[in-house]
Amino acid sequence: MINIDLAISGAHILTIDQNMTEYKRGSIYISGNRINWIGPDVQQPENCIIREKIDASGKIILPAFFNGHNHAAMSIFRGLGNDQSLDKWLNEFIWPAERDLMNPATVYLGTMLSVIEMVRSGSGIFSDMYFFEDEVARVCEEVGIRGIIGEAIFDFPTPSRATPQEAMEFTRQLYNRFSNHPLINVSVAVHAPYTCSPDVIRQAGELSEELNIPANIHLAETIAEIETMAERYGKTPVQYLYDLGFLSGRTVAHHSIHLTQDDRHLLKETGTNVVTLPNSNMKLGSGACSVAELILLGITVALGTDGPASNNNQSMIREIQQLARLERVINLDPTGLSARELIRIATINGAKAYHLDKDLGSLECGKKADFQIINPNQPHWYPLYDPYNSIAYAMHSEDVESVIIEGKVVMRNRVLVNVDEERIFREMKKKIM
């Protein structure tokens, strides 16, 4: 007899595997934290002892979304300094507010608020770059969501660390603490080429190589960044990082908007991965990443929301739909990214960018059981010609009914099972509002 902890049947399953396999009426059997079996309902394995069953008839099952870049605690700054350029927004609004307000308690609350929003819209994992990242890990453990935590590294003091060396040492401590953790991974989180000296960037790259963990960085985000790097070093930001040895298959470059052709080839040559953030880029007037062109070159492009202060939402559904439209506008081409490719960018590509695709990003036997159950019985889903197209152009965040992460139900029928949401809202009002 086979012990099955959770069996879900009757769903239209979009596996997002290499062949984009679908099961119109399919089942997923979970043992522990992994998929034991997946396939058509009519081929369900026999001789199983099933602890819990879910009838998902009429529902759609999709891998949980992979939010490739975030500053989750910045939900406490949602709406602060709107309608400003990135430079003015950071220097005149965000950095002063962070110095005044950011501490472990506010990072915990801000992250919790964002995580609630992320789970409610189908995300199962997010990559974070911020301060007091041990508090971010605490939120992940309490809610049951995955997190890639990166303590932000700047040349100047941050709310949590006085020097970049302290931030890197704390990164090492986080790595030692969370090695082999079921939900938490760690990254080296370098803020940007213009906020970190060459020595700091070299040291961060060496730490990423030593620990064999991702190295995140904001890259080629604005015209102002391009001008600053040209004035300081006579190079583009990409060329600058390349010459410092920072770019590699471990590197995840956020934004990557203002790239020369040489820049693109350097990203391809080094295996650097890109995370595009369409809503944040549009809101701040930064520009648009040429996603289809990067993918055509063979660069892995993933998707993220960025922080809730620069977006101002945490829904990956919105990002998918904005990316679809933005690509068509900038290229004057409605064929550049198909609905299926868009879904891959929001799921398996994120897992590939962070070297987690052996376990995450698609629904296959032996992989981690991380997925969402979507209820398409909504007016905006009718008629349902193609589920990928409906997700890419019509789906609402509220259509996500349940979320399973690490084989456990984290949200059931729109209710997060491990979180007292009203308590979080009360504490947020007490501390911030």
Mean pLDDT by 10 residues, the chain (433 residues): 94 98 98 98 93 98 98 91 82 85 94 97 98 98 98 96 98 97 98 98 98 98 97 98 98 98 98 97 94 97 96 96 94 91 98 98 98 98 96 97 98 96 87 66
Q: What b/e readout covers 54-93, taking b as 16+ CB neighbours within 10 angstroms?
A: bebeebbbbbbbbbbbbbbbbbbbbeebeebebeebbeeb
Asked if 275 and 392 sit in the same domain, the reply is: no
The amino acid occupying position 206 is E
Asked if 34 and 136 sit in the same domain, the reply is: no
Asked if 224 and 287 sit in the same domain, the reply is: yes
Asked if 124 and 171 sit in the same domain, the reply is: yes
Asked if 80 and 12 sit in the same domain, the reply is: no
Q: What is the pLDDT of residue 433?
A: 59
Whether residue 319 lies inside any domain: the answer is yes
Identify the domain boundary among 312, 336, 353. 353
pTM of the predicted model as reported, rounded to 2 decimal places? 0.97
Whether residue 425 lies inside any domain: the answer is no
CATH value at residue 25: 2.30.40.10
Q: Total domain count for the chain?
A: 2
Asked if 323 and 393 sit in the same domain, the reply is: no
Q: What is the pLDDT of residue 1?
A: 79
Asked if 245 and 175 sit in the same domain, the reply is: yes
Asked if 338 and 370 sit in the same domain, the reply is: no
CATH value at residue 289: 3.20.20.140
Whether residue 421 lies inside any domain: the answer is no
Q: What is the pLDDT of residue 159?
A: 95
Whether residue 188 lies inside any domain: the answer is yes
Length of the chain: 433
Q: Which domain holds residue 37?
A: 2-63+362-416
Which residues, including other chains, have CB under 8 Å from residue 78's CB and lie 6 or more apart?
A: 308, 309, 312
Give alpha helix (H) positions in 179-315: 198-211, 223-233, 237-243, 261-270, 278-283, 291-296
Q: What is the pLDDT of residue 90?
A: 83
What is the spatial distance between Cα 383 and Cα 406, in angstroms, rounded to a whole number?
33
Q: What is the pLDDT of residue 118?
A: 98
Asked if 188 and 243 sit in the same domain, the reply is: yes
Q: Which of 418, 348, 405 is nearest to 371 (CA)?
A: 405
For the record, the structure tokens of 38 come out as 């997946």
What is the spatial distance between Cα 405 and Cα 64, in angstroms, rounded to a whole number?
8
What is the spatial distance between Cα 89 and Cα 340, in angstroms, rounded to a whole number?
35
3-state secondary structure of 432: coil
